[in-house]
Amino acid sequence: MKNPLNKRLPREFKKNAGKYIGIFIILVTTIVLGSSFMATMDSAVLTIEQNDVECKIEDGQFEVMEPVSQAIKEQFADKGVILTENYYSTVNDFDGDARVLVFNERTELNLPSLFEGSLPDAKDEIALERIFARNREIQVGDAITLNNLQFTVVGIMAVPDYSSLFKSNQDLLMNTEDFGISLVTKEGFARFDENTLTYRYSYAFEDEDISKSEEKELIGEMQKALLLEGSMIQSFLPAVNNQSITFLREDMGKDGPVMQVFIYILIVIIAFVFAILTNNTIESEATIIGTLRASGYKKKEIIAHYLSPTIVIAIVSSVIGNGLGYTVMLKPFENLYYSTYSIAPIDIRFNFEAFVTSTILPVVLMILINWFMIYRKLSLSPLKFLRKDLNKKRQKRAVKLPDFSFLTRFRIRVLLQNKINYLILFVGVFISSFLLMFGLGLQPLIDHYVEEIDDSLTYEYQYMLKAPVEVSNAEKLQVYSLKTWYELGKKDISVSFMGITEDSQFFEEIKLPEDEKAVTVSKPFADKMNVSEGDEIVFKDEYYDKEYTLYVEDVCDYKGSLTVFMERENLNAMLGYDSKAYSAYLSNEKLAIDDEYLAKIITRSDMVGAAGQMMKSFEGVLTIVSVFSVVIYMILMYILTKTVVEKNALAISFMKVFGYNSKEIGKLYLNATGIVVIASLVICIPAEVLCFKYILVYIGSMVEGYIPFYLPAWVYVAIIAIGIVSYFAINALHLRKVKRIPMSEALKNRE
């Protein structure tokens, strides 16, 4: 004979449908989120790893003023370094203001992955990078013009050395809107003017298992060889320091554990909510349990009975959650990667590890927590259940309260009676409002960052020179890039040194130190490196293997980037240049500098525009995050406060008999929830701000820039307002429930 108690299960689900549906929604959403995210991430990681091997990703690159000699190539080959030309032509005015790098055909390293069409085969054919093509609405078959040359787009592709589209390695944010990569044939590349070319070389080590120290040694030897030959190195960038390569790989690696922790926190909350519900059921059915135990039912049979709703909900949620996670919800996550990163087509595959992380562990965790809670509760004797004496402590004493008004004391008693519910609600409010803060706050944070850069930039153009050239209406300056150790990110980061003069019209506010060992640093630099006036910093010149120890004399309000300011003469003296030497011009006007002398133009829009573009790929996710947070928040509040009302149904019924109306009862029982919600919202904000700052530092440790923390007051107001509105919505639902509690309850129920 089947256990007749099992017949109660469907009735239990029907009776408490609201609560079970609420838990089911959170659980399914969590598992969908977990499984689709983990599956996409793991598949993407595998795809990238596979693609890196198949497409032979470079181990580094350098750019020189003139092509290197055959002798250098042979020298490198002898050292086990594969060196390949990776020349490109820069088109600065594609479709108005977009920058497109046109690369020559690749045969050895950084090979392209095709999404659509084919690779170029004729001199007027071109393959475009996928995100740029999509953002510019260019399709296979379209004709495009680059530097007055006509091309037909024959393919849409991705290249491994630009999986993250950073316009420059110093940029803080990717630019997926107006920065593109393209590939043409050798014949096609020959059509470009030589003056627009950049001589980039990519290298890879033959020994795939080369150690870090060996790699460092080899890089040093390569740099020396280039300098000895007289090559003017413009940049030397090992892959580990190349954001376009590392950003995605570091990002992907680090997202997983964060998501895992997030899932586990949610699961633990859901498990405790479930445990509270079960606990309430056990308390209300104490005499039934006592009777069953007295009739001979074993403790484990009763545990199994009360654990069964948890098991059913957990299993059904995991099946549906994974079903949705691997089908419907996969696309948004795939699109998130596709819209953010330029990666090869992701080959989605079932990953058992991801399944364990996103499903098996959460379900087991949930069942275990519930089993433990039920087991503890059912450890009392049958007699105690029959007597409804479920308190483990022999004599429960009343907590002494100060002489507050009756209403205040009543509400405090409700809070104390339901402290576990409210504790979980507090954690739920913290997580939800943090997600909400993130969802609402990221856009204004980036906007503010962009505005600050825009405000602090006093010039429109920065012209980087290959060789000195005299022009009028511009200010000369020495620009040089040095590295410094960034402890938090455990890596060297580039710092831009600007040698300017005391009478600079563009940096009037900056107080330049007279001491040649002193520098003025930009605020982002000081914040990121956590340095202040008087601190010493060691800067390294990797090309010449030199170190400079300088101290901070002043922190200036320049927000542009990680910049260090010195007197031009002092900087030149430090670098061993002529005191009047310069390598760049600043101007508010477009200058007519011959391409022969020009290395690069950095415009205000280059520095400011990228941030705005970056947000586009996040818009959808931020909306999902915001909605998800409100859903969790409302469901948790609904379930937890519903149990408060149900637990006190009998008392509420008495109150009605005594002459309280539903509104007054609501004020007594539900306002306690309001107090917890509002207090939690307010108390949690400083902790959430701390977490937000920590996340920014974490993001900052992955990139070379620095985003200062900023949240406008309206975000705080919105978080509290959304919380309060949600509370009132749930409150209204519960008031209906209070109204429906009959007075006859007081007469029927007996102790």
Partner 1 sequence: MQLRMNNVHKFYGEGDNRVEVLRGINCEVNDGEICVLLGPSGSGKSTLLNIIGGIESADEGCIDIGEDCTSDMSENDLTLYRRDHLGFVFQFYNLIPNLTVKENIEVCAYLSKEPLEINELLKTLGLYEHKDKLPSQLSGGQQQRCAIGRALVKNPAILLCDEPTGALDYRTSKEILALIELINQKYHNTIIIVTHNNAISGMAHRVLKMHDGQIVSNSMNHAVISAKDLDW
Q: Which residues bind partner 1 (CB under 8 A)?
A: 391, 395-398, 400, 406-407, 409-410, 413-414, 416-417, 650-651, 654-661, 743-744, 746-747, 750-751
**Cβ 375 to partner 1 shortest distance, Å:** 25
Q: What whole-number distance in Å separates Cα of residue 306 and Cα of residue 370?
A: 9
**Cβ 280 to partner 1 shortest distance, Å:** 14
Q: What whole-number distance in Å separates Cα of residue 585 and Cα of residue 498?
A: 11
**Cβ 673 to partner 1 shortest distance, Å:** 15
Q: What whole-number distance in Å separates Cα of residue 551 and Cα of residue 568?
A: 17
| Residue 114, token pair as written in the block | 């095709």
**Cβ 738 to partner 1 shortest distance, Å:** 13
When the beta carbons of 78 and 751 are compared against partner 1, the nearer one is: 751
When the beta carbons of 50 and 661 are compared against partner 1, the nearer one is: 661
When the beta carbons of 386 and 651 are compared against partner 1, the nearer one is: 651
**Cβ 727 to partner 1 shortest distance, Å:** 22
Region of residue 582 (phi > 0: left; psi between -120 and 50: alpha; otherwise: beta): beta
When the beta carbons of 294 and 407 are compared against partner 1, the nearer one is: 407
Task: List, in order, residues 6 or more apart from 199 with CB less than 8 Å away.
Answer: 63, 64, 65, 66, 67, 68, 85, 87
**Cβ 279 to partner 1 shortest distance, Å:** 16
Q: What whole-number distance in Å separates Cα of residue 89 and Cα of residue 104?
A: 8
- Number of neighbouring beta carbons within 10 Å of residue 332: 14
Assess contact for 330 and 33: CB atoms under 8 A: no
Task: Tell me the pairing of strands 461-465 and 584-587.
Answer: antiparallel
Task: List, in order, residues 6 or more apart from 474 with CB less than 8 Å away.
Answer: 463, 585, 586, 587, 589, 591
| Residue 571, token pair as written in the block | 């900087």
Amino acid occupying residue 748: K
When the beta carbons of 271 and 414 are compared against partner 1, the nearer one is: 414
When the beta carbons of 2 and 393 are compared against partner 1, the nearer one is: 393
3-class DSSP assignment, residue 557: coil
Q: Of 551, 491, 545, 492, which Cα lies nearest the Cα of 517?
A: 551
When the beta carbons of 383 and 747 are compared against partner 1, the nearer one is: 747
| Residue 281, token pair as written in the block | 């059921």
When the beta carbons of 407 and 729 are compared against partner 1, the nearer one is: 407
**Cβ 658 to partner 1 shortest distance, Å:** 5
**Cβ 679 to partner 1 shortest distance, Å:** 20
**Cβ 634 to partner 1 shortest distance, Å:** 27
When the beta carbons of 262 and 660 are compared against partner 1, the nearer one is: 660
Assess contact for 537 and 518: CB atoms under 8 A: no
Measure Cα distances from 569 to 232, 338, 386, 466, 607 in Å: 22, 48, 92, 20, 27
Assess contact for 161 and 248: CB atoms under 8 A: no
